[in-house]
Structure 1
Amino acid sequence: MTHGFDLDGRLRQRESADLRRDLAVAERVGDRTRFADDPKGGRIKFGGEAVVFAANNYLGLADDARVQRAAELGARTVGTGAGASRLVTGDTRIHRALERDLAACKGTERALVFSSGYAANVGTIDALSPDVVFSDELNHASIIDGCRVGASETVVYDHCDADDLRAKMAERAEEGASDESWLVVTDSVFSMDGDVAPLELLCDAAEEHGAWLMVDEAHATGLFGEGGGIVQREGLSDRVDVQLGTLSKALASQGGYVAGDEALVEHLVNAARSFVFSTGLAPPAAAAARESLRIARETNQVERLWDNVETLREGLSEMGYDVLGETHVLPVLVGDRTDALELAERLRADGVVAPAIRPPTVPDGTSRIRVAPTATHTAEDIARCLDAFETAGAEVGLL
């Protein structure tokens, strides 16, 4: 008898189901780079340069000189790492400055920065410890895990369906549990479908039952509502109880944040275990995120992104592809998982990196290529992407 773990067997099962993932080493972070297969300790051998349409670096700021200078200044003036939990010695003026800017941008009393968006979701839900979470069926894994850790019960409502949410809340209310704490949680922009949650309708449903609403703006922060997100675009800052997001996508850094009223943030400082028991966000990351937020709010970087999004969406649609969503995330629906994987491979052979997304990440029959343009992709990059999709689509038999 053995009480160990057959990890080789688990890996074989993943491989047989075509679900095993491998690391790919990038030479640099940017719109164009060379890649190598995972060297597993050996020598890295990079191939030819490819154009990357797979990153969440939406504003193209990860290798921006202004952001790099801010990170360098943060390292030189404060340090490369916080050195401890912020409740010990790791709370610095750079953290406070970033939090003030985030709170101002989100229209809240205060903000709190975590080491990652994942930590922010799990820590916040756990600290609130709701009796019931009503969660959109396509919410991110970090929300799902937060519910597993912190919620007594999770009720899943149909994707972006405020009527189904309202019905499930009414059903729960009929059971007579009037003293329960309820939390409605949703992403604002859904990263695999490119669609947007109906936040005003969700606010209405939550308010009818005295529930709180928590919105994860991971894929929206910096891109809507003068840098805030969908909540700000829709003018709902005073109706959303918990605003959350990441610093690692459009803001080109690392970390997560929660924004809300003073009582919420003070409670999280004391009760969110992923904040209390984690070393503070590295000062260079905080400084970089702050500069990226400034660029997003004060320059035309966002407009440049939307110009590229429109060009790509129109070009792909005119070819005959079904492009889902309404945002900067462009899911090109393929359907069959084998076709999607082959399309991604042929795009890669043409020097365009755009990943195939297949079950279980998305439902059966809805495999897709996720295209993510950035503000810094050039007209030549966009044309190369469209040419690759046209050639590869014909080769796979999709066009």
Structure 2
Amino acid sequence: MSHGFDLRGRLRERGADDLRRHLDPAESVGARTRFAEDPKGGSPDFDGTELVFASNDYLGLAGDDRVQRAAAAAARTVGTGAGASRLVTGDTHLHRALERDLADCKGCERALVFSSGYAANVGTIDALAPDVVFSDALNHASIVDGCRIGASETVVYDHCDPDDLAAEMAEREREADDAADESWLVVTDTVFSMDGDVAPLERLCDVADEHGAWVMVDEAHATGLFGDDGGGVVQREGLTDRIDVNLGTLSKALGSQGGYVAGDGDLIEHLLNAARTFVFSTGLAPPAVGAAREALRIAREGDRRERLWANVDRLRDGLEDAGFEVLGDSQILPVLVGDRDDALALERAVRERGVVAPAIRPPTVPEGTARIRVAPTAAHADEDVDACVRAFREAREDVDAL
């Protein structure tokens, strides 16, 4: 008799299903870098330079000199680590300054910085402890896990479908004896990371208002990119006053690490007391705080966003001209393939031509919708974008089914 875990067997099963993952270390973060095969416990052996169209560093700020200097200054003046939970001794003037900037950018009273976007989602939903969460079918795993931990019940509505949300709410009101006394929370990403589409926030808010529910949005793939001030989709759509919980990350367009929640004073005060992922985590490292604050300033004041959207348009047009179906209406450009094996073959063929763009396949996306997720950044030059299009055009000839 054994009460252990057959991890080798689990790995074999993943391998048989083409779902086993491997670490491919990168030499640096940027539009171009060198990669190494998974070294397991050894040291990486880097190969030739490749173009990266797989990063969430949308504004190319992770390698920006100003952001790096801000991180270094924070390390010198405050320290490399916060040293403790922010409720103990880990709360610094840097954390407070970043939170003021985030609140101003989002048009909210206050903001609270978490160690990651994942921690922000899980901790916020758990702290609110809603009786029912109405969650978009394609929400990020961190939202799904937050619902598992913190919600009494989760109702999944069809992706980006306010009518289905309304139907689910109406059914709940009819069938639940105590529905009138329940707390309801509608949760959605604003930009969906695998489809590249944008949630119909105004219509979702209309439905939520009709039923007295709160709305929580995750602007992970929108912070710094949308709206006149880079606040996100909420700010672009003029919906700041209708969103109760504004959440996002510092690790994508802002090129740093961490997550945040912005909202009114009562919400933030409740979270810093009740969100376990905040209370029981060491404060975000000061270099990450300093980097995020400088990156937010650049995103709001500079021309990086305009450069990104020019690259997005150029790349989308090029891929469509090459005969590919490109989904979404954001900076994320999913190239729809369909068959999982064909998607893997296209990924390999593109990689052989020096371009890194990952194949996304079930169960991450529904069966029959495997795709290549292409993500340009503001750091890509026109010739980089053209090289990516050329790699896809040539790779298409190598994959017979395309």
What is the CA–CA distance in structure 1 between the aligned matches of 2:115 and 2:169, rounded to whole Å? Answer: 33
What is the CA–CA distance in structure 1 between the aligned matches of 2:110 and 2:123, rounded to whole Å? Answer: 17
Give the C-alpha shift of residue 41 in structure 1. 2.6
The one of 185, 196, 199 equivalent to 2:198 is 196
Counterpart secondary structure, 2:335: strand
Partner letter of residue 244 of structure 2?
D
- 1:115 maps to which residue? 115
Indicate whether 1:218 and 2:220 are aligned.
Answer: yes
- 2:24 maps to which residue? 24
- 2:172 maps to which residue? 172
The one of 233, 238, 245 equivalent to 2:248 is 245
Partner letter of residue 102 of structure 2?
L
Give the C-alpha shift of residue 398 in structure 1. 5.2
- 1:185 maps to which residue? 187
- 2:86 maps to which residue? 86
Indicate whether 1:283 and 2:286 are aligned.
Answer: yes
Give the C-alpha shift of residue 181 in structure 1. 0.4
Counterpart secondary structure, 2:371: strand
Partner letter of residue 165 of structure 2?
L
Q: Deviations over 1:191-245 (max 9, x none)?
A: 0000000000010111111100000000000000111000000000000000000
Equivalences for residues 1-399 of structure 1 within 5 A? 1-175=1-175, 176=177, 177-225=179-227, 226-397=229-400
Give the C-alpha shift of residue 343 in structure 1. 0.4
Counterpart secondary structure, 2:330: coil
Counterpart secondary structure, 2:36: strand
What is the CA–CA distance in structure 1 between the aligned matches of 2:41 and 2:198, rounded to whole Å? Answer: 42
Counterpart secondary structure, 2:253: coil
Q: Structure 1 residues 398 and 222, CA, compared in 2 at 3 Å: closer, same or farther?
A: farther
Give the C-alpha shift of residue 42 in structure 1. 2.4
What is the CA–CA distance in structure 1 between the aligned matches of 2:400 and 2:237, rounded to whole Å? Answer: 41
What is the CA–CA distance in structure 1 between the aligned matches of 2:325 and 2:95, rounded to whole Å? Answer: 43
Q: Deviations over 1:159-181 (max 9, x none)?
A: 00000000100111112321000
What is the CA–CA distance in structure 1 between the aligned matches of 2:38 and 2:193, rounded to whole Å? Answer: 26
TM-score by length of 1: 0.99
What is the CA–CA distance in structure 1 between the aligned matches of 2:376 and 2:4, rounded to whole Å? Answer: 45
Identity of aligned residues (%): 74
The number of aligned residues is 399
What is the CA–CA distance in structure 2 between the aligned matches of 1:61 and 1:394, rounded to whole Å? Answer: 35
What is the CA–CA distance in structure 1 between the aligned matches of 2:161 and 2:327, rounded to whole Å? Answer: 17
Q: Deviations over 1:286-339 (max 9, x none)?
A: 110011111011011000000000000000011110000000000000001000
- Point out where structure 1 has 5 or more consecutive residues left out of the alignment: none
What is the CA–CA distance in structure 2 between the aligned matches of 1:331 and 1:43, rounded to whole Å? Answer: 33
Runs (4 or more) in structure 1 with deviation over 6 Å come to none
RMSD: 0.7
